[in-house]
Structure 1
Amino acid sequence: MNHVPEAEWVAYLADKIPEALKIEYENHLYSCDKCLSAYMEAMEKEEFGPDIEGFDIAGPVMDSISRLKEGPVEGEKQLRKEKSLRTITRHYLIAAGFTILLMAGGVFQSLTEYVDSVESISEKETQSLTDGLIDKTFNWMDTIEKKNKEGFRNE
């Protein structure tokens, strides 16, 4: 068999040749290095070539950049401002609704009670070591004094 031209390999890859010819080309690839390299080149062109070469990306990108530099049209600015105001109002109303529900449910009342109990516990725990020793000493001295007074009364 003669060497298969690259155009035929492109047709083979595009599945535009008869099945019998495909089998013949495939069998030829096993024995011919030149056709194998032509087949590989056709694969590369099929994979990267025609789609990228015909696509103009610069035009749409430059149009987008020029539109961004110009800024939004006056009508678009007004529309964005209205949407923003509606969104802010909606969020405010949702927050106010949740606040009312939480107040009606007593969540804030129980929360303040909890905070008060935590503060009283923390005040007890924050007593310094010196204050604790002084308190214990005074209590000890008071008990001794009471025992002495009781002892004098009994005599």
Structure 2
Amino acid sequence: MNQHRPLNIWMQYVNDELPPEERERCEAHLDDCDACLELYMECIGQLADRLPALPDTDAFAAAVMQRWTEKQALAPGAENHPANQSAERKQRIPWTQSPFFHYAVAAAITLLLMSTGVFRSLMGHPEPGRMSYSASDRTEAYVPFSEILLEKTIGLLDSIQPKHERGGTR
């Protein structure tokens, strides 16, 4: 368990006065602890007050970014840079892993199952409701689809219920 570090340790961290091992422990602790992150930010704020102000911060930021991109382009292994890797990864996705392919396969399987009658056999009747005839007077009575679905579900649950619960030995 990482212990909270006091303000003076964070000030030493900001001023680069800690040994490398302690710096690594502090960096790891910052990932997990919001209270210490606030202390660290406070130390940075105190240090920022002592630094001279930049005359043109926008020009400075643009110059830093320009220099950084030039170094990244010239650096050996620039093709391994995370920004370049993500662009390459987007281009190298196989067509079998694209979402469009997955949707097309799912639609094709659904159409195949519908055309072969698998869904019809699962439901018993494809229409939203069915007309049933009473044996006594031969009048039609509408049976809602939800009732049909409930009957099928209860029948399925009864069929998978263990025998010992129904009075059997196993």
TM-score normalised by length of structure 2: 0.28
Q: Which has the higher contact order (CA 8 A, sep 6+)?
A: 1
Higher strand share: 2
TM-score normalised by length of structure 1: 0.31
Higher helix share: 1
